[in-house]
């Protein structure tokens, strides 16, 4: 997808995607770091949600509504719903709060009632915990999880031979769609003179920790 490269370019410009020496939660030395929380102004966040909207439309995954897990999924699901509506696709959306409310309307869900095929929006999948919680919430409401959309698939093995993304797809029997993947990042670096110096380190990391190609 051409817009995957545009998304990576935006992430680099905004400092969301940085290169150097970083230690991941799993204790691995990574040559790059991705922090979607740094899409922290109106313009860049609008662009981010536009890429989510385009990814959803390009995927062809059938869905009736969107769900954003607290906390990172909350602005994502609202912003993406707006961008989809601008393209003539009007979908209801909902999100959860971490703590149940004991006054007013109560409960942990805000937004449209969960029903039909529900697409989950998150930033990345590391341990898959928020996806698991989202699936439980959706199923408890009698609705069907339709898939997950994330910003970047690191295509990195978890404890076994599968990546966290593959584990989620296999466990819940639903697609995980990424705006961009590690393969997109590698091809972007190869074509970018100012960033090409990072290419060998990222490729070496992929050789060490990566999964087989998903395409």
Residue 63's domain is classified under what CATH number? 3.40.50.2020
52 contacts 76 by C-beta, under 8 angstroms: yes
Question: Residue 10 pLDDT > 90, yes or no?
Answer: yes
Question: pLDDT grade, residue 149 (50/70/90)?
Answer: very high
Q: Is residue 180 part of a domain?
A: yes
Amino acid 107: pLDDT = 59
Question: Residue 49 pLDDT > 90, yes or no?
Answer: yes
Q: Is residue 215 part of a domain?
A: no
Question: pLDDT grade, residue 25 (50/70/90)?
Answer: confident
- For the residues 39-46, what does the mean pLDDT come to? 97
Amino acid 106: pLDDT = 47
Q: pLDDT for 79-117, tens place per residue? A: 999 999 999 999 999 999 877 655 444 458 999 999 999
Buried b (16+ CB within 10 A) or exposed e, 79-110: bbbebbeeeeeebbbbbbeeeeeeeeeeeebe
Q: Is residue 50 part of a domain?
A: yes
pTM over 0.75: yes
As for how many domains the chain has, the answer is 1
Question: Residue 7 pLDDT > 90, yes or no?
Answer: yes
Question: pLDDT grade, residue 151 (50/70/90)?
Answer: very high
Q: Is residue 61 part of a domain?
A: yes
Q: Is residue 39 part of a domain?
A: yes
Q: How much is the mean pLDDT over the chain?
A: 92
Range of the domain at 9: 2-209
Beta-carbon contacts of 17 under 8 Å, excluding residues fewer than 6 positions away, are 8, 11, 32, 33, 34, 152, 185
Q: Is residue 90 part of a domain?
A: yes
Catalogue the active-site residues.
101, 103
Q: Is residue 141 part of a domain?
A: yes
Q: Is residue 214 part of a domain?
A: no
For residue 123, which of 96, 159, 154 has the smallest C-alpha distance? 154
């Amino acid at each position: 997808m051409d817009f995957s490269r545009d998304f990576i370019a935006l992430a680099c410009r905004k400092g969301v995607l940085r290169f150097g020496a970083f230690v991941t939660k799993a204790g691995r030395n990574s040559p790059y770091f991705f922090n979607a929380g740094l899409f922290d102004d109106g313009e860049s966040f609008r662009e981010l949600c536009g890429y989510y909207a385009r990814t959803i439309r390009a995927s062809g995954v059938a869905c009736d509504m969107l769900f954003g897990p607290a906390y990172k999924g909350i602005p994502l699901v609202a912003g993406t719903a707006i961008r989809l509506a601008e393209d003539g696709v009007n979908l209801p959306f909902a999100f959860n709060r971490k703590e149940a409310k004991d006054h007013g309307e109560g409960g942990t869900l805000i937004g449209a009632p969960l029903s039909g095929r529900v697409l989950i929006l998150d930033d990345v999948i590391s341990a898959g915990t928020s996806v698991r919680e989202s699936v439980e919430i959706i199923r408890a409401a009698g609705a069907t999880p339709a898939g997950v959309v994330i910003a970047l698939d690191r295509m990195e093995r978890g404890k076994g031979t599968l990546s966290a993304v593959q584990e989620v797809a296999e466990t819940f029997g639903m697609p995980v769609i990424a705006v961009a993947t590690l393969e997109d990042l590698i091809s972007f670096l190869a074509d970018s003179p100012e960033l090409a110096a990072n290419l060998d380190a990222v490729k070496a990391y992929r050789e060490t920790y990566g999964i087989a190609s998903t395409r």
